[in-house]
Amino acid sequence: MNSHMPSQLIDRFGRTVEYLRLSVTDRCDFRCVYCMAEQMEFLPRSEVLSLEELYDVGAAFTRLGVRKIRLTGGEPLVRRDILTLVERLGRLPVELVMTTNGSQLPRMAQDLARAGVSRLNISLDSLQPERFHELTRTGRLDKVLAGIEAARSAGFKRIKLNTVVLKGRNEDEVLDLVGFARDSGLDISFIEEMPLGQISEHGRDETFCSSDELRELIGSRYPLLKSTDNTGGPSRYFRMADSESRIGFISPHSHNFCSECNRVRVTVEGRLLLCLGNEHSVDLREILRRYPGDTARLEEALIQAMAIKPEKHEFRLDEEPQILRFMNMTGG
C-alpha cells in the first residue's frame, strides 16, 4: 500500500467502515415473495467470484480495519464448498457471522460453528407450515425448525431470527414469533420490507408494516425496555424484563439509520456496493482478475471507493422500485 494512503476506510461524512456483508452466491433454494421473482435467472459461473477471490476480498477489508464480516447471499449454504471459505475467513482477526434461511443447518451447523462462525441470523417469517411454504414458495418449515435446533446445539455465541413483516400475510404472527424466540432463548428482529427489485405478488405499499406499529403490539404483551445493545448492524434493540431474548427492529423506512452506517456490501459478482439503497459501486472483479495477487491495488481501490459512499438511501414505497437489483443480488 502507498504510504500516503490511510489504513482505515473512512468516508466523506466521517463514517468508518468496519462491517462487510459479503455475498457468496446469488442462488437460493427458496424464492421468498419479497426477495425474488418466481422465475429467476442466476449468474453464469464465470461471472461469480471464486472462493479464492472471495477470500482475497475479505482479507483486504480486514487489513483495512473491518472487524466484522457477514456471509450472505442468496443462500450462503448452497454455495459448493462454502466451508473451505468459512474456515479460511475464520482464521482472520475478524468476527465472522452469517445470515441463512436455515434449510441446510441440520447438516452444516456443527461445521460452521467449528470453522469460526460466531453468530447466526436465521430467517423465519411464519410458524405455520402452509403459510411458510407460500411465503418462501419452495421452503419447508419442518426443515428450518430442525435447522434452528441444530444451530442451538452447535454452540454459537448468539442466534437471531429475522422476520420480514408483511401486512395481511404474516403480521398476525408477530406475537407467536416473539413467543417462539423467548421459548428458544433466541433474539428476534423484525424487518420493514425494502423496495429492491420488481416483485409480482403484492404491492409493497399495501403490505408495509412499520416497526412502530409492531413495537406497540409487542409492548402490549411484553413491556419493552429500550436497550443500548448494539451488534454493529442496523437493528435497534429492546429487552423484556423476564427474558434473555432481545427484540430488534430494522426500520429502513421509519427510522433511517444512514448517519450511523458502518458497512458496505460486496456482491458475488465482485461489485462493491457502497449503499443498499443506491447504485454507487466499484467493480472489484475487474481488479481481482486483471491484477491477480496484487493486494496493494485491491486495498487502494477500497480506500478510494469511500469517496463515493452516498450520505443516505431514499426508499419510496409508492413508486416503481428505483433499485432494480433483487435482495439476493445485493447480499441482504
Q: CA-to-CA distance for 203 and 80, rounded, in angstroms?
A: 35
Question: Does 233 contact ligand SF4 by CB under 6 A?
Answer: no
56 binds, among ligand SF4, ligand SAM, none (CB under 5 to 8 A by kind): none
Residue 249 beta carbon to ligand SF4: minimum distance, rounded to whole angstroms: 18
* Residue carrying C-alpha cell 434473555: 244
List the x/- string, 67-86, binding to ligand SAM by CB under 6 A.
-----xx-x-----------
Question: Does 190 contact ligand SAM by CB under 6 A?
Answer: no
Residue 250 beta carbon to ligand SF4: minimum distance, rounded to whole angstroms: 13
Q: How many residues does the chain have?
A: 332
CA dihedral 130, 131, 137, 142 (to 10 degrees): -60
> Which residues in the 107-166 window bind ligand SAM by CB under 6 A?
123, 162, 164
Let me know the angle formed at the C-alpha of 50 by 44 and 54, rounded to the nearest 5 degrees: 125
Residue 15 beta carbon to ligand SAM: minimum distance, rounded to whole angstroms: 22
Burial-class residue 226 by CB neighbours within 10 Å (0-12, 13-18, 19+): exposed
Are the beta carbons of 297 and 287 closer than 8 angstroms?
yes
Q: CA-to-CA distance for 135 and 139, rounded, in angstroms?
A: 8
Element (H, E) at 12: none
Spatial strand order in the sheet of 243-250 = 224-226, 236-240, 243-250, 187-191, 158-164, 117-123, 95-100, 68-72, 19-23, 263-266, 271-273, 281-283
* Residue carrying C-alpha cell 409480482: 200
Nearer to ligand SF4, 36 or 178 (CB): 36
31 binds, among ligand SAM, ligand SF4, none (CB under 5 to 8 A by kind): ligand SF4
Are the beta carbons of 197 and 226 closer than 8 angstroms?
no
Element (H, E) at 165: none
Q: Which of 25, 101, 207, 235 is the binder for ligand SAM (CB under 6 A)?
A: 101
Question: Does 177 contact ligand SF4 by CB under 6 A?
Answer: no
List the x/- string, 90-119, binding to ligand SF4 by CB under 6 A.
-----------x------------------
Q: Which of 19, 34, 208, 237 is the binder for ligand SAM (CB under 6 A)?
A: 34
Nearer to ligand SF4, 94 or 124 (CB): 124
Give 289's contacts (C-beta < 8 A, 6+ positions apart): 53
Question: Does 190 contact ligand SF4 by CB under 6 A?
Answer: no
Nearer to ligand SAM, 267 or 306 (CB): 267
161 binds, among ligand SAM, ligand SF4, none (CB under 5 to 8 A by kind): none
List the x/- string, 114-133, binding to ligand SF4 by CB under 6 A.
---------x----------
**Composition of the chain by helix, strand, coil, percent to 5:** 35, 20, 45
Q: Where do contacts with ligand SAM occur on this chain (CB under 6 A)?
A: 28, 34-35, 72-73, 75, 99-101, 123, 162, 164, 191, 193-194, 196, 327-328, 332
Binding site for ligand SF4 (CB under 6 A): 28, 30-32, 35-36, 73-75, 101, 123, 327-328
